[in-house]
Chains A and B, each alone.
Chain A
Amino acid sequence: MSKTHRQRLLHSPLVWPLAGLALLLLVNLIHSPAFLRVGMLDGHLDGQPIYIFNHGARTLVLALGMTLVIATGGVDLSVGSVMAVSGATAGACLTSDHAQLHALPLVLAAALGAGALAGLLNGVLVAYVGIQPIVATLILMVSGRGIAQLITHGEVLLMPHPGFGFIGKGFWLGLPFAAVLAIGLYAAAQVALRRTAAGLFIEAVGDNPVASRFAGLATARVKCLAYLVCGLCAAIAGVMDAANIGAADPYRSGENMELDAIFAVVVGGTALTGGRFTLLGSFVGVLLLQTLTPTLVFLGVDPPVAPVPKALLIVIVCVLQSELTRRWLKSLRPGKAAT
């Protein structure tokens, strides 16, 4: 391998998350050699990797939307609440007395519409009114759960609907449908953003909004659309969650998921300051976080305590990525200070 090639590879944002994922897999393989084994069960694939993908599908979809928002220099704290709202909307449709409302396309349209509406509100507040993203999305983070509780009248709505349940726990050609859907969305987004100028627009807006506006970019519209897509992604994740447990839970659905999504994006190598983004990095970041939980359980950590190592991980990643550490590392290697 030529030197420039190796350097480019080492400087790729994917290196660190992939290395982290490999380390986790190694720990698991040492602990239990059967960790990566995938077998057949009841006519579909089964095993720890399949479980990680299936369980991680919601976070994958959330992180997809979050990547775009973070790339524009923003952040969306409301995705967890939006998940609860979209799940509650689907639940309210499926359990309503009007049989016409039980049609699956209608249910999905209502749930996704609710998410898109929430995303649009965030987008308008950030892009057109000019409120800081943390503050603007905080509003829905606070009131979203209240809205979800109103929709379900404060109850956890049970909805035994096989077609709807398929979205969250069904298997398609032996593969978990939710994971297939999530991967399909990533592929579609990658094509839509990288084969057109859309991805470049997002990076330009995140990198320097003023310069992009002077270059003739509709900065506000790009930002607004990013939040809209993020709301839509949150709605899809909410539908997956409700379908998976067969119930719309306005209290617990999407709880703390906004953090997982943001962490995955940051660990995946997209900077919180906006600009360059990598969908593949976010994908690997989610897998890393999702593998971390079963790993910790293997190592004897209770699931409720799992946030502690997650928090330490994110702090370490942030400190490593920071300017201060980089300068310090460079000063340790005086020969390479020029590069």
Chain B
Amino acid sequence: MSPSLQRRLPLLATAAMLVALYVVAGLRYDNFFSARVAADFFTDNAALGIAATGMTLVIFSGGIDLSVGAVVGFTSIFVATLVEKQHVPPLLAATAALAIGTALGAGMGALIHFFRQPAFLITLAGMFLMRGGAFWISTDSNGLAHPLLQRLSLWELPLTDRSSLKISALVLLALLALGGLLAHWTRFGRNLLALGGNESSARLMGLPIATTRVGVYAFNGFCAALAGLALLFNSGSGNPRDGLGLELDAIAVVVIGGTQLAGGRGHMLGTLLGLLLFAVIQSGIRFDGSFDPAWTRIIIGALLLGFILLQRMLLRRLES
């Protein structure tokens, strides 16, 4: 096998598995092949996909962010409470939430970079902070019925006569495109991969490590807050418990998409494939109805294990 093919093997494996599972599920369950189900893949998993986009970039840099789910919960209850209880204009509340997410990310990135702390520990602290903050705002869920939201949720991009993409799905697709552009067509993306590949070499090459690292955590914080907005938009109510465990699903999606968890190697396209694979498994289990929903997590865990082992094997072979 040629090295370039070997490097793309995880991505190809994901693509093959996605096609196979989609075909099997489509043959087994009625209506699975419909455009409506396919559109729902994106709408239902908008928050996960948005979070996974930011997570992909963080993992490119060799880092990890475990605070994502908590930021989603915080954003959801923060915006819902501001709009419903304080009568703040929704756009202002959403902007404030995005600013908080970005600031938190930048702060965590600074702690990780300048104080040389392990990313998982600092972002775990960020998770505590935001989840606690969410419960501080409100311990109960809070309905959101602003006219602007209702008008926006009516607006859809029609695909066929019976299927359409909601705004949350469009935001997801736009962000994925932006993330891909950022990762593979800009200097920032190159710096990220260089940083994740080998920090000392990146430093010796004179790359701006500090801005790159703080920047990627800030971008991820922005994505997490955006994911919170998408979830709030889809569900129509803010809940401080929103996004519990979302960071794990996001990491799983990124890794299943062939991005190396140690950093330095991967592709945004893989994250899209990973997200679709996740969506197909989830919808398949729902369509079937005879499986326990608990299987989703177990299958995702098993896939994670399989892909990590595959990466490990390939890495060893590339090194030797």
Interface residue? B261 (CB, 8 A): yes
Interface residue? B133 (CB, 8 A): yes
A43-92 with Cβ < 8 A to chain B: 75, 77
Query: At the interface, is chain A mostly helix, strand, loop or mixed?
Result: helix
Q: For A15, what are the chain B residues with a Cβ–Cβ distance below 8 Å?
A: none
A136-150 with Cβ < 8 A to chain B: 136, 138-147, 149-150
In the complex, are the beta carbons of B135 and A304 less than 8 A apart? yes
With both beta carbons as reference points, the residue of chain A lying nearest to B262 in the complex is identified as A132
Interface residue? B157 (CB, 8 A): no
In the complex, are the beta carbons of A146 and B131 less than 8 A apart? no
With both beta carbons as reference points, the residue of chain B lying nearest to A313 in the complex is identified as B125
Interface residue? A310 (CB, 8 A): yes
**What is the size, in residues, of chain B's interface with A at 8 Å between Cβ atoms?**
46
Interface residue? A318 (CB, 8 A): yes
A311 vs B128: C-alpha distance when bound (angstroms): 6
Interchain pairs with CB closer than 8 A, number: 128
CB distance from A270 to the nearest CB of B (A): 13
In the complex, are the beta carbons of A302 and B116 less than 8 A apart? no
Q: For A310, what are the chain B residues with a Cβ–Cβ distance below 8 Å?
A: 128, 132
A153-B292, A311-B126 given; A142·B132 CB < 8 A: no
In the complex, are the beta carbons of A305 and B124 less than 8 A apart? no
Interface residue? B294 (CB, 8 A): yes
With both beta carbons as reference points, the residue of chain B lying nearest to A148 in the complex is identified as B294
In the complex, are the beta carbons of A307 and B132 less than 8 A apart? yes
In the complex, are the beta carbons of A139 and B115 less than 8 A apart? no
CB distance from B218 to the nearest CB of A (A): 17
CB distance from B57 to the nearest CB of A (A): 18
Interface residue? B309 (CB, 8 A): yes
CB distance from B251 to the nearest CB of A (A): 7
In the complex, are the beta carbons of B297 and A142 less than 8 A apart? yes
Interface residue? A323 (CB, 8 A): yes
A318 vs B309: C-alpha distance when bound (angstroms): 33
In the complex, are the beta carbons of B261 and A135 less than 8 A apart? yes
In the complex, are the beta carbons of B132 and A139 less than 8 A apart? no
With both beta carbons as reference points, the residue of chain A lying nearest to B70 in the complex is identified as A307
A324 vs B111: C-alpha distance when bound (angstroms): 11
**Other-chain residue from B118, B131, B305 in contact with A307 (beta carbon distance below 8 A):** B131
Per-residue CB proximity of A233-261 to B under 8 Å, as 1/0? 00000000000000000000000100100
In the complex, are the beta carbons of B298 and A143 less than 8 A apart? yes
A136 vs B262: C-alpha distance when bound (angstroms): 12
Q: 17 A-B residue contacts at CB 8 Å?
A: A129-B309, A139-B304, A141-B248, A142-B252, A143-B304, A146-B297, A146-B301, A147-B294, A154-B293, A302-B135, A302-B139, A304-B135, A307-B132, A309-B132, A315-B125, A324-B114, A324-B116
Interface residues of B (CB under 8 A from A): 64, 111, 114-118, 120-122, 124-129, 131-133, 135-136, 139, 240, 245, 248-249, 251-252, 255, 261-262, 292-298, 300-302, 304-305, 308-309, 312
